């Protein structure tokens, strides 16, 4: 049973370019979460999605960031016009149910974004 | 005030010794609590959930004190492989996890 998959594992972009990060949840999981970890910082919640629905985007920056989880295919975190401050590790997690607060979230290996 | 606060350390621990550390959380309505382990440049992995009655998993013991809003982790008989950063994690509702910066543990031979 494959775990949470993320790609690419490493992504280098120049300022002003777009970054697309992909996440495939564990088999049987329909709830996806995105977190960002800045250097020397803890993980920060960004967004919680179910298929075709954004449940909670309270942690998303107001501009340039968007996320989706389409009916088919992986979840996508999109960052437009990247700036150096976007350089971070972006982790995706998934859970099976989502309704219970005790659901364990399983994390993918992360995408390390570097903005030059 | 941060949602979850941890003393980052590092905690240098002789092999075979016991190490313990706490974290505090700010939201009294927090619903569930976890310790995750994160190795350098890797993803967090669940170590254990934390229950009000306290729970133990092998050499690891976790405690929750809701009145004082702190969570503890104790590691007995430390192994070299225990070297990692231990993340205190709180679910504040809607599955929105709040992470501390982590306690860095270095087990020394």
**Residue among B8, B101, B69 at smallest CA distance from A37:** B101
Q: Which of B46, B96, B99 is closest, CB to CB, to A42?
A: B99
Q: Do A102 and B32 touch (CB under 8 A)?
A: yes
Higher pLDDT, A39 or B79: B79
Average pLDDT in the B51-64 region? 92
C-alpha B4/C-alpha A41 separation (Å) is 12
Task: pLDDT band for B75, please (50, 70, 90 cuts).
Answer: very high
Task: Tell whether the model's pLDDT for residue A101 goes beyond 70.
Answer: no
Indicate whether A74 pLDDT > 70. Answer: yes
- A103: pLDDT strictly greater than 90: no
What residue in A sits closest to B3 (Cα-Cα)?
A: A44
**Tokens for B95?**
């599955």
Average pLDDT over residues B80-107: 92
| Residue B66 burial (CB count, 10 A) | 12
pLDDT of amino acid A100: 58
pLDDT of residue A40: 82
pLDDT digits 0-9 by tens, A32-65: 999 999 988 889 999 999 989 999 999 999 899 9
pLDDT band at A21 (very low <50, low <70, confident <90, very high): very high
pLDDT of A97 higher than 80: no
Position B74 pLDDT exceeds 80: yes
* Phi, psi for B97 (deg, rounded to 5): -80, 135
pLDDT for position A102: 60
Q: What percent of chain A clears pLDDT 90, i.e. is strictly above it?
A: 78
| % of chain B residues with pLDDT over 70 | 100
In a 10 Å sphere around its CB, with 0-12 CB exposed, 13-18 middle and 19+ buried, how is residue A101 labelled? middle
User: In this complex, is the C-beta atom of B80 within 8 Å of any C-beta atom belonging to chain A?
Assistant: no
| Tokens at B2, concatenated | 């941060």
Provide mean pLDDT across the span B55-65.
95
At B92, is the pLDDT very low, low, confident or very high (cuts 50, 70, 90)? confident
How far is A49 from A115, CA to CA, in rounded Å? 26
Output the average pLDDT for chain A: 92
Residues 26-85 of chain A with CB under 8 A from chain B are 31, 33, 35, 40-45, 48, 55-56, 58-59
**CA pair distance A59, A105, nearest whole angstrom:** 17
């Amino acid at each position: 049973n494959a775990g949470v998959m993320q790609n690419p594992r490493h992504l280098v972009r120049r300022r002003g370019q777009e970054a697309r990060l992909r996440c495939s949840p564990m088999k049987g999981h329909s709830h996806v979460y995105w977190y960002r970890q800045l250097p020397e910082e803890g993980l920060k919640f960004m967004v919680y999605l179910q298929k075709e629905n954004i449940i909670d985007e309270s942690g998303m920056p107001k501009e340039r960031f968007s996320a989706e989880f389409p009916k088919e295919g992986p979840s996508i975190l999109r960052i437009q016009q990247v700036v150096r401050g976007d350089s971070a590790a972006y982790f995706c997690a998934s859970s099976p149910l989502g309704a219970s607060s005790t659901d364990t979230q399983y994390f993918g290996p992360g995408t390390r974004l570097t903005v030059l | 005030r941060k949602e979850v606060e941890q003393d980052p350390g590092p905690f240098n621990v002789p092999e075979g010794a016991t190490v313990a550390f706490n974290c505090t959380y700010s939201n009294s309505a927090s619903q569930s609590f976890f310790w995750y382990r994160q190795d350098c440049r890797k993803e967090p992995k669940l170590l254990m959930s934390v229950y009000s009655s306290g729970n133990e998993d092998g050499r690891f013991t976790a405690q929750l004190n809701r009145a004082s809003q702190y969570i503890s982790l104790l590691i007995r008989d430390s192994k070299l492989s225990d070297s990692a950063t231990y993340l205190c994690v709180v679910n504040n509702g809607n599955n929105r996890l709040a992470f501390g910066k982590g306690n860095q543990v270095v087990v020394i031979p």
